[in-house]
Structure formats: structure tokens, C-alpha cells
Amino acid sequence: MVSTQYLFKKFKVGLKAMLSDKIGVLGISILLIIILLSAISPYIFPLQSRADPTQIFQPPSGENWLGTDHMGRDIWPQIANGGRGLLLLAFITASISVMIGIFLGTAAPLIGGKFDEILLFFADVWLTIPRFPLLVVLSGFFNLTSYVLALVLAILSWAGLFRSIRAEVLSLKEREYVEAAKMLDLSMIHVIFKEITPNMMPFIIMNFTLMMRHAIYAQVGLFFLGLLPLEVNWGVMLNIAWAQGAIYHPDALWFILAPAIAISLLILSLVWINRSLENLFNPVLRTDHDD
């Protein structure tokens, strides 16, 4: 029987293995640095709101670590503070979407019948939706605030996880301990959350990072296109650099490179974490059927 203790032990073993994987360590370190910066920057690197026309597009210096922007403001505080919103929203999106995926993905095969069929059909249709163009169009109809966007993103991306979880549950359903749990007359909810979900944890965590990655891409893309309300984040910095023509301005190199590199690092860290998780869990998850 799966207990918290067991999970904790599994987690510890996993963490240990992950720390021995260089790429995984690199990914976790980058992510932790970004999270740390997001947490402390408002106090240590506060944003500078006043424009200073004498300081436009200055190169990096001891005072302005990453140079200055088109209004002469220091770029570094903008970078240090600019990941928070993206990360938070990506986290919320991934959480909602994973919850929908888990709930429907376990409920469908357990309830079975028409319910299962209809959901599966929906998921298939859902997967053919051109997500990003649709988001762009939606942002033309509605004012997408962060939380609405998180919800929309989550709703747009539940189908993939639903399908994989459904498949896993179908195969787990056949296994003994679920049978045993049923014999003990445990309720279905109990079966889902006590027996099945813990077994799929690796799978879910991997999907979580993947989902965060998609959410970050979508957000940054929409910000870059100027389709979301402006705030301070890396996507908006790109948008401003673009809108100001800074992208074609050799002096503005740092203004555009800094957020571009920051976004790349954030996504890379998620990809690396995902990859090292995959290496870690693969023996369990590997399905090498031939025929």
C-alpha cells in the first residue's frame, strides 16, 4: 500500500539520482536562481520608474550591470523582476491543467462506457485546435488578464495529459493492487488518489514541466505581440524593444538580448529538468512493444 512515507522515500531516492545528473542539476540551479531573484528583487533590485534621457541605451557598467533601456532606465532590475509574473502564471496554468488532466484521465477509464468515449473524442478534437492562433484571436475579443489567460491556457492544453493518463490508468487498472483495493471495498476516489496517482507521479511531474514550458511560450508570445496588458516582464521587454525599433538599433543590443537570454534560460532549465526526470523514470515508464 502506498503511504506518504513511501512517497517521501521515493522522492528522496529520485532527488539523489537527479543530483547525480549534471544536466538535471544545471536545470534545477537555473530555475532556483530565477525563483530566488523573483522573490528578493522587489526589495534588493527595485524597479526604476523615472526616465533619464541622458542615459539612453548605455552599455553595461558597474552601475548598470546590463546597460540601460530606451528611456535610460537600468535593465538589470527589469530582468531580475521580469520572470516572476511569467513563472507564477506558468505554474498556475500547469497546476490547473494537470488537475483537469488527472481528474478526467482517471475518471474516464474508471467510469468507462459512453462517458469515456465522449471524453476521448473531445480530447482528439481538442488536440487539433491551433492553440496559439486561437489565443491571438481570443485576445482580440477579450481582455485577457493573467488569471483568465492561465485558465484559458489550461483549458486549451488538458487533452494531451488526459490521453496519457487515461492510457496509464487503463493499464494500471488491470494490475493486482488496484484489484486488491477494490476487493477491500475502497471507494473509487480512494483508488484514484491513493493508488493510481502516486504511481503516475513521475509522469505527472514531467507533464507539469512541459505544460509550464508551453505556458511560458504562449505568454511571452502574446506579450511580444503586444496583445496582453503591459507589465514588467521579459516578454514585454521584448515587445518594447521591438516596438521602439530597438531591435534594429546596434546600441540597444543589451536591451533585447537580456530578456531573450533570460527567457531561453528559463525554458532550457525546464527542459533540462524534464530530461533528467525522464532519464530517471524511464525504466519505469518505458514501453517497448514490438507487436
Partner 1 sequence: MPSNPVDIYVNELISSHGISVEAARSRASALYALDLDMPVWRQYISYLGNLIQGNMGQSIRSPGVRVSTIIRARLPWTLFTVGSGLIISTILGIVLGTISAFKRDKWYEPIITGSASIISAIPDFLIGIFLIIFFGIITWFGMDRPLLPIQSMRGTHTMGLSIDDGFTYIRDIFAHGMFPIITYVLAQIGMWVLLMKGSTTSTLKKEYVKLAEARGLSNTKIMSKYVARNAFLPIATEFAMRMGFILGGSLIIEQLFVYEGLGLELLNAVHGRDYPVMQGILLIITACIVFSNLFAELIYGALDPRTRRGE
Residues that bind partner 1 (CB under 8 A): 128-130, 132-134, 136-137, 139-142, 213, 217, 220-221, 224-225, 227, 238, 242, 247-250, 253, 256-257, 260, 263-264, 267-268, 271, 275, 288, 290-291
Write the secondary structure of 184-248 as one string of H (helix), E (strand) and C (coil).
CCCCHHHHHHHHHHHHCHHHHHHHHHHHHHHHHHHHHHHHHCCCCCCCCCHHHHHHHHHHCCHHH
Task: Give backbone dihedrals phi and psi of 71, rounded to 5 degrees, phi first.
Answer: -110, 10
Give the residue with the Cβ less far from partner 1, 66 or 178.
66
Nearer to partner 1, 20 or 264 (CB): 264
**CA–CA distance, 196 with 173 (Å, rounded to integer):** 8
By beta-carbon proximity to partner 1, the closer residue of 84 and 213 is 213
CB of 3 to partner 1, least distance (A): 36
- Shortest Å, Cβ 236 to partner 1: 14
Residue with smaller CB distance to partner 1, 43 or 141:
141
Task: Tell me the C-alpha to C-alpha distance, in Å, between residue 151 and each of 148, 156, 157, 158, 160.
Answer: 5, 8, 10, 11, 16
Neighbours of 268 (CB within 10 A): 16
Cell of 141: 475579443
**In the complex, what is the shortest distance from the CB of residue 56 to partner 1, in angstroms, rounded to a whole number?**
17
* Minimum CB distance to partner 1, residue 129 (Å): 7
Q: Whole-number minimum distance, CB 215 to partner 1, in Å?
A: 12
